[in-house]
Amino acid sequence: MMAAGSVERKGRLSKAVPFILVNDCAQGSGMGLTRAQASKRFPRPRPDPGRRAISIERKRFSQPHSFLFCNSQESPATAPLGQSLSRTKGVTDAPSIQIQIKTSMNKNLLNTPSGRTDADFDAAKYTAAGAPPSRPAASRWTPPNTAPASGSPNANVQAITEAVQSASGWVQPLRQQMGRIIVGQEQLIDRLMVGLISNGHILLEGVPGLAKTLALKTLASAVGLQFQRIQFTPDMLPADIVGTMIYNPRDGSFSTKHGPVFSNLILADEINRAPAKVQSALLEAMQERQVTLGDETYRLPDPFLVLATQNPLEQEGTYALPEAQVDRFMMKVIVSYPNRIEERAILDSMAVTERSWDVTPVVTSHDVITSRRVVSSIYVDEKVKDYIVDIVLATRDPRPYGIDLNGYVQCGASPRATISLTLAARAHAFLQGRGYVTPQDVKDLAYDVLRHRIAVSYEAEAENIASENIVAAIMEGLPVP
């Protein structure tokens, strides 16, 4: 029986040198032959399903060698050499066996050229002929296996995906209910749902008339939670939001009067119309989910979400939001104009004197809390985590990443950006019905999470460079895993 193979040096694949494997000592007589001599004396037959091909890895050899191997006692499939033959092109049922040459084999079977001894073959190792050399694992991110083996890092991804699909049954009905009132604005609706299930506050910015307030009111009606709207005005006081202590002259005691902030969903309409001291009244409520009145601290209901709107055009009677409060918003969503088709649909549905705003509640507080627990368990790969950290660090000092922003960044994003971007990416994966986060989830949410956390310098303002341009430069400069 004869088989052809190729010589492979340990550590790297050398130039393939065919050789002949003979099972009949009468033909080979243990003589070393060159490739030309072997091809003349033992013509290579056509491959058949029973043919096997092997290759050899040889140690301490600088050049590949052709040789003749003879063993009349046993066939390659049954020889006591621990053979390993794997399936190659044209071979159908070749078993997988490991071959190692042992020192106890007949020394006369190998005739080595160039004066090399048989001891040089002792540690030689056989591998399958024709198999490509092994390559290191790719550093790029790959989706986790949906059916991983037990004990692997992704062993629970399938279970998480099933939990996501089970807990996200309310997502599509909520989209349909909001779509009955809001024409277009799919990105706005998705961002509101991301904030709802990731426990993050949202700031909406857009010119008047883009259904910012209507979208928040529709969300509150469809969710079925306690809802309060606060219209911010220049003459407001902090007590108008969080509440106050009321003095009772009859018995000389004080009683607590809770403000409208004690609700599940708070609509802070045109929040930039109130002075900074009023806006700061929401700091404790937004971060700690609690309010302190006098010497008592009161927990806010769960879930608690602040949805604020602001007008970017008017400057008369408006006040810029404090940086400490802006950073507490998980996302700042820019609401844009509708396109022509959406504008026509708005005309057909809204151009009436009486408009019905009936919305059927399709989500309960229990559904929201359950979904938040599932979102926290969504798998984030290590490469995706590093990608998120690199994005945030590049907003502070982009030079180590090879990004030149020419000193346009005055203040980068805080660690809240890292947390918010991770939670937002998980929530986005939840809405897509996946139990794991992809780099595209991070890229889709990066602008909304970072645009209000980056303070540009005076040079950037003079050149009309906004924070969105900084984020775009960072996203283009960083490699995607």
Write the pLDDT tens digit of every residue in 292-342: 888 889 999 988 999 998 888 766 678 888 888 889 999 999 998 989 998
pLDDT in tens, 218-259: 888 888 888 889 999 888 888 999 998 888 888 888 888 899
Amino acid letter for position 5: G
| Per-residue model confidence (pLDDT) at position 60 | 39
pLDDT at site 84: 37
Q: Outline which parts of the chain fall under CATH 1.10.8.80.
A: 142-170+363-481
State how far the Cα of 93 lies from the Cα of 113, in Å rounded to an integer: 34
Tell me the mean pLDDT in the region 114-134: 43
Rg (CA), the chain: 35
pLDDT confidence tier of residue 389, bands split at 50, 70 and 90: very high
**How far is it between the farthest Cα atoms of the chain?**
122
| pLDDT value, residue 379 | 93
Q: Looking up tokens 């709107």, which residue turns up? A: 309
Q: Is the peptide bond before 338 cis (omega within 30 degrees of 0)?
A: no
pLDDT tens string 140-162: 555 555 444 444 555 588 889 88
Of residues 140 and 364, more confidently modeled: 364
Nearest 10 degrees: Cα torsion 33, 39, 41, 45:
130
Nearest to 68 by CA among 103, 21, 23: 21
- What's the pLDDT score for residue 250? 86
Q: Which two tokens stand for residue 458?
A: 């005076």
Percent pLDDT > 90 in the chain is 27
Fold designation for 200-361? Rossmann fold (3.40.50)
Q: pLDDT tens digits, residue range 49-88?
A: 444 433 334 333 344 443 434 443 444 433 443 333 333 3
Q: Taking 80 as the threshold, does the pLDDT of residue 102 lie above it?
A: no
pLDDT for 35: 55
194: confidence class by pLDDT, cuts 50, 70, 90: very high
Q: What pLDDT was estimated at residue 385?
A: 95
Q: How far is CA 178 from CA 202, 218, 361, in A?
A: 17, 6, 10
pLDDT at position 166 over 80 = yes
Residues 411 and 126: their CA atoms lie apart, in Å, by: 60
> Could you say which DSSP state residue 272 is in?
G
Would you place residue 101 in the very low, low, confident or very high pLDDT band (cuts 50, 70, 90)?
Answer: very low
Residue 38: the pLDDT is 53
Mean pLDDT for the stretch of residues 150-178: 81
What is the predicted pLDDT for the residue at 144? 58
Buried b (16+ CB within 10 A) or exposed e, 337-360: ebeeeeeeeeeeeeeeeeeeeebe
How far is Cα 225 from Cα 196, in angstroms, rounded to an integer?
11
Residue 269: pLDDT above 60? yes
In CATH terms, is domain 142-170+363-481 a member of 3.40.50.300? no
Segment 412-425 mean pLDDT: 94
Q: Looking at residues 30-56, what average pLDDT do you find?
A: 49
Question: 438: which DSSP letter?
Answer: -
Looking at residue 376, the DSSP 8-state letter turns out to be H
Average pLDDT over residues 408-428: 93
Distance CA 41, CA 39 (A): 6
Instruction: Indicate yes or no: pTM above 0.75.
Output: no
Average pLDDT over the chain, rounded to an integer: 74
What mean pLDDT do residues 384-406 have? Answer: 91
Q: Where in the chain is the domain with CATH 3.40.50.300?
A: 200-361
- Separation CA 277–CA 321 (nearest Å): 10
